[in-house]
Structure 1
C-alpha cells in the first residue's frame, strides 16, 4: 500500500449511513481504521461493525448531530475504540438522507505533556503573561519578552508593581486581582508611548482565571494584543463623526470656521488656522481657482498651546500670500499640499513675506498641511494644519482625514455664507421698507424698535405711524407669516397698502377688511401649490387728540398694552378678528378713551412668545416691565423704556422670531385750541361766519393767516351750503405749526378738483383751496363727509 498523504482526505475515516442504518459509502481511511474493504461493508448494516454493547450508543434518526466514543469491531476481531463525530445530511442537497460519520482513534495525548502545545504557547504571536495565585509572574512567552525588552528570567517571580512603579502597572495589577477573585474575564486597554511616534502604542489585554482539574484556582493569564491600527482607525472615525456633529451648529461663518479648528486640535494637528477669501475681491463671488498673490482673511485659529501664541494674524486680518507659498499653491491647484521642513526651522519659507510665515520659524513648525475649502464648485479659502510639538510629519492617512473633515466644514461654511448673504439682503430690504424715523405728530410721542430673528431668518414684522387729517394719527403693527425675502417683500406691499387705505381715512375695521381682501388676492396670485401662500396679522389704531379717543381693530394680532398715567399697565380687551388672508369674516372696532400721557404698547408675538414662555406669561411680563419703566414724558424716556423691554423679555442670544415694538404716548389738544360753529344752510350768512373766524384768529394771535383762512373758509362753507346737506359744521384746529379748517355735512358725495373752462361760472373754488393750503382732502364719516385743509403757519408772513 502506498504511503498516505497526511493532508489527503483519505487519512480520515469517513462513512455515510442512511436512515435505515445501511452503509452507503466507505472511504480508504475507514478501511485502514477497521481493515474492511469498501465492497465488504457498503450495503450492509452499520450495526455489524459495532462491538457488543455499543448498539445503544449509535445516533438516533431524529438527532441532527451526534458525537461520542464507539467500540468498533476490527476485521481481525479485536475491538477498536474510536471518537466519532456524526452530522445529519438531508435530501435537500441532492443526496440521500442519512449520516456522515467521521472517526479517529480514541488516543488523545495529555496537553500538559504534548510538546506541540507547549511550543505553541511559547511561540504564539500573541503576547502572554501567566501569574500564580499570589499574582507573581511565572510565565512569559517569546512575544511578550520581545515587548518588555527584558529577559524573562529577570521578570519571573516578580509582581507588576515590582517591575515598574508607574500607576498603570498598579491599575493593571488591581484588574488581575479582580479576575482572580471573581473569575469574570476582563479586558483592559493600555497605551504606551513609542519614541518617534505621534500616537502611543495601543494594547488590548484579555485577562482570565486559571483553574486546575481539581477545581483549585491556580492563577490568571493575560493575552496582550496590539490594536494600534484599529485604535487609530477608530480615532479617525471618531474625528469624522465629531466633525459632523460639532461643525455647522450655527449659520455664522466665523463660528463655523472656529468649530473646524477646534475639532482638529490636538487630534490631527497642533495648530489649525482657517483663512477665507474675500468675495469682494472677486466681484462678490468666490472663484474656482484664485490667482496669486492670494488675499486671505483670518477667520479662526486654535492651538494646542493656551493663548494661541503661534497665530501671527488676528481674526479678521487680511494677508497676501504670494506665489510659491503653500496656501497659494493649495488654492491654485485645488488639492492638499504637505510641506515638511526636517530641520524644523522654517528654512523653506524664509524667502516668503515676513509676517504670515514668522510663526513657522519661531515656533518650530516642521510639517504643514494646507487643504482647500471647496463647496459647490467654489473655493472658499484654505485650512492650514501645522505640527510643531508632535515630531511626526503628516502622513497620507492624515491628508485623507483632513480632506474629509474640511470637505464637511466647507459645505457648512458655504451654507453659513449663503445664509449670511441672504440675511443681509433681506435686512437691507427690510430696513428700506420700514420707516427710517417716525414722523413727529402733535397727537402722540412715539418710539420704536425692530430686531430680526437671531436664527430663523428675517421675517415680515412691521410698524408705522401715519399722520391723518384733523391732527389725528394712525398706528399700525403687523406680522407676515414666514421668513426670508418673500416675507419682507410681502410686508412692504402690505405696509404700502395700509398707508394708501389710511390716506382715505377708512375706519380701522373697514381698513382691515380691504387689507384682508388684498392678502387673499396675493395668495391667489402666488399659485395653487401653496408655496407662495400669504398670511399675516395686523393691529390698526386711530387716535384723535381733540376727542382723546382711540379706535382700534385687530386681525389675529396680540392686543396692545395700555399704561395709564395713574394706574397699572394692562392689556386692552379687543375683538380678536381672524388673521389676514382667511377671507369672508368680519372685523370689529373698539373705542378707548385715553388720558393725557397714557402710553400704548404695540408689539408682535416675537416679543412675548418663546419656547420657554407662552403669550399670556409674556404679556404679564411686559406689563411688569412697563410698570417699572423710568418716569418722564420726553422722547428719551420712551426710548429707554423700549430698551428696557427688549432686555427683559428677550433671551441673551436674541429672539427666535422677529420683534417689532412701538410705544406711543398720547397727547391731548386743549379745548382752547379748537373752535366749532354750526353753519345755517343760507349763503347770505357766510359773511358773519367769516367775521367769527377772523375774531378767533385774533384770539389765537394768528392775524397773519387771516386773509388765506378767510378765503378757504368762505370757499368750503359755500360749497357745503350749495352741494352738501345740513347740518353743516365748521371747525378750526390750531396747532403750534398748523391751522386746520374742517367743514362737515351729512352728504356722502365727495368733491374733486377739475379744471374750469373760460366760460364756466364756477368750478375754481377747490383749485384755489389747493393752491393756498399745504394740503387738503376729504374723509367719510358715519354721518357724511368732512372737507379739510391745512395751512402751514410757519410759512405765513
Structure 2
C-alpha cells in the first residue's frame, strides 16, 4: 500500500509539473488562506514582479483585482463546498503596475488529498482581454447601427451617435458638422477649406461630474489650422493621437487645450464624417481612463462608426432639402493619391491657401520597375491655373511614355509650356508674360538604387538618409517652364540607400515654415511612418499661407526584390536566341507564370535577342522583371534606334518589332551612355 501511495504521489507530481509547464492558461495554487504557493510563470501578465516577490503573499496583496470581494467569496465557496467555479470575469493588474488592465476568466477547483485533507485551491486564469475587447467593439458597432439614424434630423442623429459610443468606445465624444450641412445644403468637397465653419452638434461624456467643454453645443467656428482635426478633414485619413501637457498643437486652440488638460484625456481618435468625397463633419473620441488605451482596432471601429453616421446625416440633410435632386455634375477632384510601387512608399501633404494657386504631385510607374516622382506648380489662380496644371500633367505622362531622361523630358515639356504661353491673351504693354510654372521630375531606379533628378525653376528635394542625416543636393535649377531663354536643363543622378526618404515640395512650404531647416529637422527621423512625417511638417507650419498652396511628396526607397529579377549575359551569336528562350522558360516556370503568358514571353524574347544579335553590338544582356507587369529587356551597346516596319508579303525579314508590338501590352527603347535597351511589357 505504501508503495502504491508513493507511485501515486510521483504520478501526481509529474502531472502537476506537466500542467504547470505546458498549460496555456495561468495557474495559481493557493492555500486555504488564499496565499499563493505556486504560479505558472509562462504568463507574463501574472508575474511582472519576480516570482519570489509573489509567492507567499495573499492573492489580493499580489494583484489589483477589479472585484476582490467577489473573487475571495468565490474561492472560499470552492474551499467549503468542493464544487468547482467556472468562468468568472475579473480585471487583473500586477500590484503597483501601470498600464492597461487585463481581463481574465477565472475558474477554481479545490485541492485535497486522497484522505480528504483540504490543501487549497487551484485557480485557472485564462486571458480573455482581446476576446472581450472584440466583443465590446462589436456591441458598440451594433448599437450604432441600431440606434443612430432613427430620425431624419441632423442634430438628433449626432446626439444618437455620442450616446451610442460613450462609454463603450470613448469617455468623451464630440460631433461637429459643417454648418451648411446643418441647413440642408450640399456638403463641401475635400479638402475642407480652413474658413469653412463647423457647428458643434453633440457632446457626451461618461464622468459623473460636469465635463468642461472647449465650446458649447451649437457653437459655430472654423477648426484651428495646425491640428489633427483640420488635417483629418483635408486628407480624410483617421488619426490616433497621443495627448499630453506638452503636445505642441494644443497651443493652436487654447480653448481645446484647456478642456483636454482639464479632462485628463490621454489619447484621441479623430475621423472625418465623409461620403462620396464630400465632408459632412468630424467625430472626435477621447479616452481619459489611464487603463484604457486606444489602438489601431479602435481606429478601424471609429471609421466604421463614422461611415454609418455620415450616411445617416446625409439622409437627414437630403430630407431637410427635399427639393434637392441627386448630384449629377461630375465634381472637380484633386490629383489622385500617389500609388505605392513595389520599391517606393509614398505619402503626401496638401495645405490649401487663402490665395489659391495651381500645384500638385504625381507618381507613376515606368518600364524597368522604375518610378517617376513629379511635383509642380502653375502660375496664376483658380480655374486657369488648374487647367494649365492639367495640361502640363497630361504632357508629362505622354512624354514619359517615350522613356525620356528627366532633362530631356523637361526640355520637351518646356516647348509645350511655351506654346501654352503663346496661346494666352496678350498682356498689357510693358507687362512681362506670366511663366507657366515650375516642375521637379525624378526617376527612381530600384535595380541600381539611384534617383535621377531634373529641375525646372523648382526647389531641390531634401534627402534623408537612413542614419538620420539630411542633405539638399546641389542641383542645377534650370529655367522655369515657359521660358524661351535660359540654360539647358540638366539631370543629376544620386545614389540612394535603402530606407532613404526623398522630399519634393513646392516653394510655398518654405515661406510657411518658421525656419529654413524645418523640413530637414522633421526628416531627421526617416524611419517613422511617412504620413506621420507629413503631419509633423504640417504641425510646424505657420498659419500664414498667403504664398500659395503647399504640396509635399515623400518617397521612401527600397531595392527591387532580388527574387523578382533575373539577368543573363548572352553571346553575340545566333545560338543566343535558343539560350535566351531556355533561360526564359525556366525562370517563368520558377515564378509560376501561366503557360500562355510564358509562351508569349518566349516569342518576345526570341525577337528581341534576334534583333540584338543581327543589328546590335556586344555585349548583350537579357533581363526579366516580375513586378506589376512582366518585363523582358534586351540590352546591347549599339545606340542606333530600331524601327517598326510593316513588311511586305514577299519580304523575308522586318517583322520582329511588329510581332513584339502585337504580342506585348507596351514596348519601347531606352537609351543610356553604354547603348540602348529594348523592352516589352505584358500584363500578369
* TM-score, reference length from structure 2: 0.48
* TM-score, reference length from structure 1: 0.42
Higher alpha-carbon Rg = 1
